A = this chain, B = another copy of it.
Amino acid sequence: MEHSSRGPVPHGHVTLVQVAQRAGVSAQSVSNALNNPDRVAPETRKRILAAVEELGYEPNLSARALRNRSSSLIAFKMRPARPDKASMLMDDFLYVLNASAVEAGYHLILCHAEGGQAGEIKAYRDLLKKTSIDAFILAETHRNDDRVAALRSWGVPFAAFGRSWDGDDEMAWVDVDGRAGTRAATAHVAAQGHTRIGHIGWPDDSELGQDRREGWLDACRARNLDTDLQAAVVDSLENGRQAAHHLLDAARPATALVCASDTLALGVMRALHERGLRPGVDVAITGYDDSPTAALVSPGLTTLRQPIDEVGRQLIQAVDNLMAGDPRPPHHVLLEPELIVRDSSLPGRRDTR
């Protein structure tokens, strides 16, 4: 047999690394052969799949089986509900995260915490004392994130939805490229002929907000457009409304407003409603998040959709790899959001009746 001279046939549960040794390739190649087949030469892929079959390797079961425990729980802290905000549905994200977890042999357990990062860390510790938790998924990462230090000190595997803003390469994370998204939204309104494009975003202490503002600056600079029309406000409909009135009252007012969130963009729509102006026809508006509201308002709101299915899958894959003792560097995945164009950014009102 071609492979019999390679690594030994292991007993018991088979790991990715054992498959790699057997096939005489790197662990990365095995992962690619299974997850991104087009990155591996057909011959190599064939050899890897033979090793997978020979050893009876089951990618989704490996981490779980290795641990040989019954709980298989991944903990996730829900954030409090945010009334009057058009956020991406945490709902949707939880659903896909849980679906991915179940497919990989885990279940999500919800964690409850109040009182900021300190409260969250306390809740994690309490949960670990009480229940056997296999891994944590964090959301909304920040610079100097104390949760990361705490989980590390306890030796618990974790992955974050949100990059390590301080360049911590050791943390596994999955994130969405807000800068590229806002750049695409700005380019889209510029393509409709707008030259006075304003931005309504968040204060500078928000890493996410800074990232999204950079995309607007990129697109304006690439077109030699002024960048004097900007506002940095805490995320709320009312703040978006007031910022819009301000930018529309300028001596050379904005004709398009690119926003860091759907909530801010809906505030802009309210301001236009109050001024008797028509979204799209009179002032172009874009949001960010593709909240359910974006599709439901009239006219519909142009916005950026985060690929949360893929985010969920990648996060579970990341913690599964960590639990399996995968020797590869931690998962760092930056995904592109998708621009969803609706009538709020288009000059011609389309009557769909």
Convert A89-130 into 0s and 1s, putting 1 for each residue whose CB lies closer than 8 angstroms to a CB of B.
Answer: 111101110110110000111111000000000000001001
Is B107 a contact partner of A109 (Cβ separation < 8 A)? yes
State whether the Cβ of A193 lies closer than 8 Å to any Cβ in chain B. Answer: no
Q: Count residues of chain A with CB under 8 A from any CB of chain B.
A: 55
**Do the beta carbons of B95 and A81 come within 8 Å of each other?**
yes
Number of copies of this kind of chain in the complex: 2
A274 touching B352 by the CB < 8 A rule? yes
Is B292 in contact with A85, judged by CB distance below 8 angstroms? yes
CB contacts (< 8 Å) of A266 on chain B: these are: 296-298
A293-B296, A297-B293 known; A95-B107 Cβ under 8 A: no
Closest approach, in angstroms, between the C-beta of A313 and any C-beta of chain B?
13
Q: Is the CB of A296 within 8 A of B91?
A: no
Residue-wise, chain A 38-77 has the 8 Å CB interface mask toward B (1 for contact) of: 0000000000000000000000000000000011110000
CA distance A36 to B92 in the complex (A): 37
Task: Check if A11 is an interface residue, CB within 8 A of chain B.
Answer: no
**A334 near B: Cβ within 8 Å?**
no
Task: Select A81's contact among B73, B89, B102, beta carbons within 8 Å.
Answer: B89
CB–CB B71/A98 < 8 A: no
- Given the known A-B contacts A98-B78, A298-B273, A352-B274, are A107 and B107 also in contact in the complex, defined by CB atoms under 8 Å? no
Q: Does A295 make an interface contact (CB < 8 A)?
A: yes
Verify A109–B295 contact, CB threshold 8 A: no
Return A288 CB to nearest CB of chain B, in Å.
14
Give chain B nearest CB distance to A334 CB in angstroms: 23
Task: Name which residue of chain B comes closest to A79, CB basis.
Answer: B95
* Contact of A84 with B by CB under 8 A: yes
Which residues on B sit within 8 Å (CB–CB) of A299? Answer: 273
The answer on a CB contact under 8 Å between B73 and A109 is yes
Interface status of A291 (Cβ within 8 A of chain B): yes
Q: Is A2 an interface residue (CB 8 A)?
A: no
Scan residues 257-280 of chain A and give those whose CB is less than 8 A from a CB of chain B: 263, 266, 269-274
Q: Taking the complex as formed, is A252 at the interface, i.e. its CB lies under 8 A from any CB of chain B?
A: no
Question: Would you give 6 A-B contacts (Cβ < 8 Å), ordered by A?
Answer: A78-B94, A85-B292, A98-B110, A98-B112, A237-B296, A293-B297
Beyond A78-B94, A80-B95, list 8 extra A-B contacts (CB 8 Å). Answer: A70-B131, A81-B95, A89-B89, A89-B91, A90-B91, A98-B112, A274-B352, A296-B297
